[in-house]
Amino acid sequence: MHLDVQDLRNFYYRSTLGRAAQKTVRDQMLLMWPEAKGQTVLGFGFAAPLMRPYLAEARRVIALMPGPQGVMPWPAGMTNVSVLAEETAWPIETGHVDKLIVMHGLETSEQPSAVLEECWRVLGPGGKALFIVPNRAGLWSRSDATPFGYGRPYTQGQLESQLKLHNFLPERHLTTLYQPPSTRRFWRKTAAIWEKAGRAMPVIAAGGVIMLEATKRVHAPSGGGLRERVRRPIKALAPKGEVAPI
């Protein structure tokens, strides 16, 4: 079940906890993807808070927001690039996306397989996808005070298995949001300390969010067409004085 876009906007742009979560997740994303010069960047779900750093240099930035969630204009003060879309039929040409960011789009969907099929379809050769989902072992998935407390949380293994079933190849992952999902002043003031400690001791502290990068896997064509052509080499490659078979 998708959250309403107004609730997501209020959390990420108008609450102290939401702004802290936005910054923490975006900083980790930029460590993985520091730039997108000349590329097409697509966000699905409510990924808009993460994509602003790419607006200046990317060839195109698009924020797709699913119909059940609703859409809002984004970015503020600039030409709108957000689009309302059906979960299973994105208005994006096949194979045109270089970077895809999915946040609050997979775990809240009632059709996750169809969403992953669209993710695979729109990615181009060499394209990468970043899936950001609630960590089943973390505190954030247990709190209704944040958007990560809704939908189906994942373990890393569960997410990787689902991606492999849809022809994605998991490349690397990390967890973040080690700070408690609390608005109390003490936790807000010590948030940076918790993030640093959590990254240093991930076995002891479970991050609230899993960020997993995957690439599109394309199977080699099957059948005898290629082998048949190889058996009939180009005549120009035949040794001098010989004629290549036809």
Task: Please report the domains of the chain, with CATH numbers, ordered by start residue.
Answer: 5-220 (3.40.50.150)
Residue pair 104/3 in contact by the 8 Å Cβ criterion: yes
Question: 161-198 burial by CB neighbour count: b if 16+ within 10 A, else e?
Answer: ebbeebebebeebbbbbbbbbeeeeeeeeebeebbeeb
What phi and psi values does residue 46 have, to the nearest 5 degrees?
A: -135, 65
State the virtual CA torsion across 109, 110, 116, 118 in degrees, nearest 10: -90
- Contact present, 51 and 41 (Cβ < 8 Å): yes
> What local confidence, expressed as pLDDT, does residue 205 receive?
59
Q: Phi and psi of 167, rounded to 5°?
A: 65, 35
Distance CA 27, CA 58 (A): 18
Q: Whole-model pTM above 0.95?
A: no
Judge contact between 153 and 141, C-beta under 8 A.
yes
pLDDT value at residue 228: 42
Which of 176, 177, 205, 179 has the alpha carbon at shortest distance from 191? 179
Whole-number pLDDT of residue 206: 79
> What does the pLDDT read at residue 181?
79
Walk along the chain (246 residues) and give the pLDDT tens digit of each residue.
Answer: 789 999 999 999 999 999 999 999 999 999 999 999 999 999 999 999 999 999 999 999 999 999 999 999 999 989 999 999 999 999 999 999 999 999 999 999 999 999 999 999 999 988 999 999 999 998 899 988 899 999 999 999 999 999 999 999 999 999 999 888 777 776 677 777 667 777 766 655 578 999 999 999 876 555 554 444 444 444 444 445 554 444
